[in-house]
Amino acid sequence: MHTQDIITTAKALVAEGKGIIAMDESNATCNKRFAVLGIPQTEEARRTYRELIVSTPGLNECISGAILCDETIRQKKNDGTPFAKAIADCGIILGIKVDGGTKDMEGYPGEKITEGLDGLSDRLMEYSKMGARFAKWRAVFVIGDSIPSDGCIMANAIALAQYASLCQHVGLVPIVEPEVLMNGDHNMHRCLAETDKVLQKVFNQLKLQRVILEGIILKPNMVLPGLDSHRQETIEEVADATVKCLLRNVPAEVPGIAFLSGGQPSVLASARLNAMNAQFKSRLPWELTFSFSRAIQQPALDIWQGKESQVVAAQQTLYHRALCNSAARSGKYIAEMEKA
Ligand code: 13P
């Protein structure tokens, strides 16, 4: 066990003013986002895009860690520098997505189970030798008629805890990501109740499996109304419900909570994170930060569109989103920043 190392890494991931960039989209998901913009869906296009991200000037001022997928961690920049080295050289901690994706859960219509525990120890050791210091595993929960079920929540919570325990044994900080999806017409109170249930079971399992809570990062959804809910709560109401839910379920030993964005518009995701820190920061036992993919990358991707001539503008946009989210870490994000 590498207790002190993982505690130190976990704290560094949620250092003041910093958050995590998730750039670990599977090839299929990345291709889907490229297809919308007419960008070729090739390994080289994905490599070029990831080089744009990691070469963004100043990114390390706001970003503590970057989560890569298996393809990217094995790729190099144009000049031959492995991405793993380029990221570490600019002071960003290297992370890796290690789950095998979600699939339909047999016997549980409409629900998903995350795969990837088979052979996980060996893969974790390989990634650790490649320089990774933290990992990510995502479980998803759909809100619908009588779902998420206890069986689905429990199966995913057990897998998350097994993954977390294996990570800590090889010295990697596990990012534990149970995501209650935004899709649906449910209201915010339903999301609050389901997120409560999920987090309670996840922490029960983490404790049962003797995971060191000081050496994990929780990556949850914010508590939000469904995308199709007729009532969309205010930023303050979302901040209030989310913090209330986390205080009920997340032990004080956990050093930090880094939200996924889940498909929220970029500006709204920053504003909601900001509201939580502005209202509650001084009373919280853990750091509240971001581990966004879409909410930090999408505006840059929209500008890049696969064109060399757009790289600088895309990087400036990525840096700007990182800066806005960094400000939201301390409740200092203001709408005027969007005009910059
Ligand atoms: P989003 O921020 O786009 O939800 O992605 C976060 C993530 O890492 C999903 O696993």
Residues annotated as part of the active site: 177, 219
Residue 108 carries which DSSP code?
Answer: S
Q: Whose CA is nearest to atom 4 of ligand 1?
A: 262
Q: Characterize 276-293 residue by residue with b for buried, 16 or more Cβ atoms within 10 angstroms of its Cβ, and e for exposed.
A: bbbebeeebebbbbbbbb
User: What pLDDT, in 10s, does the model give residues 89-142?
Assistant: 999 999 999 999 999 999 999 999 999 999 999 999 999 999 999 999 999 999
Q: Helix 120-129 crosses helix 150-169 at what angle (to 10 degrees)? A: 40
Is the bond leading into 299 cis (omega within 30 degrees of zero)? no
Q: Is the CB of 260 under 6 A from ligand 1?
A: yes
Question: CA of 284: how far to CAs of 102, 179, 253, 290, in Å?
Answer: 32, 22, 11, 16
Under 8 Å between Cβ of 279 and 238: no
CATH architecture of 3-331: Alpha-Beta Barrel (3.20)
Cα dihedral 63, 26, 214, 122 in deg (nearest 10): -120
Instruction: Report pLDDT for 14.
Output: 98
User: Exposed, middle or buried by CB within 10 Å (0-12, 13-18, 19+), for 55?
Assistant: middle
Tell me the pLDDT of the chain averaged across its residues: 98
From start to end of 72-149, where are the E strands? 93-97, 102-104, 112-114, 134-141
pLDDT band at 1; cut points 50, 70, 90: low
pLDDT in tens, 215-250: 999 999 999 999 999 999 999 999 999 999 999 999
The four Cα atoms 318, 320, 324, 327 give a dihedral, to 10 degrees, of 110
Contacts of 123 (CB under 8 A, 6+ apart): 98
Q: Over 70: is that where the pLDDT of 182 sits?
A: yes
**Ligand 1 within 6 A of CB of 321:** no
Query: Could you tell me the distance, in angstroms and rounded to a whole number, from the CA of residue 145 to the centre of ligand 1?
Result: 25
State in Å, rounded, how far the first CA of the chain is from the last one: 46
Residue 184 neighbours by CB under 8 Å, 6+ apart? 142, 143, 144, 226, 227, 228, 229
CA distance 312 to 304: 9
Does any ligand 1 atom lie closer than 6 A to the CB of residue 22? yes
How close is the Cα of 137 to the center of ligand 1, in Å? 11
* Ligand 1 contacts CB of residue 138 (under 6 A): yes
Our CA angle for 327, 328, 331, nearest 5°, is 95
Q: Is the pLDDT of residue 340 over 80?
A: no
Taking the centre of ligand 1 as the mean of its atom positions, its distance from the CA of residue 261, in whole angstroms, is 6
CA–chain centroid gap for 48, Å, is 22
What is the tens place of the pLDDT at every residue in 70-102?
Answer: 999 999 999 999 999 999 999 999 999 999 999
pLDDT in tens, 5-57: 999 999 999 999 999 999 999 999 999 999 999 999 999 999 999 999 999 99
